[in-house]
Amino acid sequence: MTRDIKGIHHTGILTRDLEGLERAYASFGFTLSPRSRHLLGGRPGQAPVPGCTANRCALFGGSYIELLGIVDESAPDPWRTKVMADEYEGFRLFNLDTNDAETVDRRLMDAGLRTSGVLELERDVDTEEGTRTVRARAVHIDPRSTPEGYTGIAQHLTRRYVHQPRYLNHPNGARGLGAVLIVADDTEFDGITNRYTRIMETTVRYEGPVAVVETATARLEIVRASHAGDVLPDEPVPASSYLAAMTVLVDDVGDARKIVESGGTVTQPAGGGFFVSARHAYGAGLFFTRG
């Protein structure tokens, strides 16, 4: 069987304070792409329209961290981002990577998952060749069935305009995203875990209290809320189930930690790396480890 999920496409941190979010992640040693406004399609086949959001990204050549901000409250909101922010801001988005959004959408519907259908996204970006339009497709899992956050599968149509070489070198040595960690309410744990095994066409295994669902280069870690303190001591709890943290792979853990701390952020040891609390990272815990 050839799996259509290829890895982690991107994670997304949502805020109404995009400038503050940008400053924080720049201080962690991430190189950020220029700010870009979104053009969004609300339904399959619908032409994208100017939306209320803009982003900057920490790009790694494969995956990326999206810093997503609501920058115009009066603009259209076809992807219901303002509703998401009204619930709470922070680590709200997680997208897996595919080369074929249409095939994924059909497979997920056949597996009993409700989706948005294939949606279109565009945004203009500056390139060394001049202004170009980034184009992508996305399939959103019905958020009523994903209490942990807004989950989707995304397909680059113009990858070279996103992962431009000039933005891939980070002072902190970041090279990619190694994992996403979800805290699941005890009553929702089985449902959340089973859903991701269907999305990723794989099985679950356990590392202590953590359920691991992975395929290709995508690794998802899920822990029951009653055991969250074992892996995330004293962290904020924004919801009963939530996207809690992501793992950033770096060249040298010691160098990365010096850079993060030189920007004024407190860190703490974590395994063979270190951790930045969601309190300091706009609602997303950050594990840094060698990779």
* pLDDT, tens only, 210-269: 999 999 889 999 999 999 999 999 999 999 999 999 999 999 999 999 999 999 999 999
pLDDT of the residue at 267 = 98
Most confident of 34-38, 40-44, 189-193: 189-193
CATH of domain 7-167: 3.10.180.10
Integer Cα distance of 263 and 275 in angstroms? 15
Integer Cα distance of 287 and 291 in angstroms? 12
pLDDT of the residue at 115 = 96
* Residues contacting 4, CB < 8 A, separation 6+: 98, 99, 100, 103, 104, 107, 201
pLDDT in tens, 46-80: 677 788 999 999 999 999 999 999 999 988 888 88
Query: SS3 of 92, please?
Result: strand
Percent of the chain topping pLDDT 70: 98
Who wins on pLDDT, 165 or 48?
A: 165
pLDDT of the residue at 122 = 85
List the structure tokens of 138.
Answer: 């996305």
Number of other residues whose CB lies within 10 A of the CB of residue 39: 19
- Per-residue confidence at 1, pLDDT binned at 50, 70, 90? very low
pLDDT of the residue at 2 = 58
Integer Cα distance of 279 and 193 in angstroms? 26
Residues 217, 9, 18, 241, CA torsion sign: negative
Domain 174-290 grouped into CATH 3.40.640.10: no
CATH 3.10.180.10 positions along the chain are 7-167, 174-290
Prediction pTM value: 0.94
* Residues contacting 258, CB < 8 A, separation 6+: none
Alpha-carbon dihedral angle through residues 122, 124, 125, 129, given to the nearest 10 degrees = 110
Percent of the chain topping pLDDT 90: 86
Average pLDDT for residues 196-219, to the nearest whole number? Answer: 95
pLDDT at 41 over 70: no
Average pLDDT for residues 165-177, to the nearest whole number? Answer: 97
pLDDT in tens, 91-136: 999 999 999 999 999 999 999 999 999 998 888 888 999 999 999 9
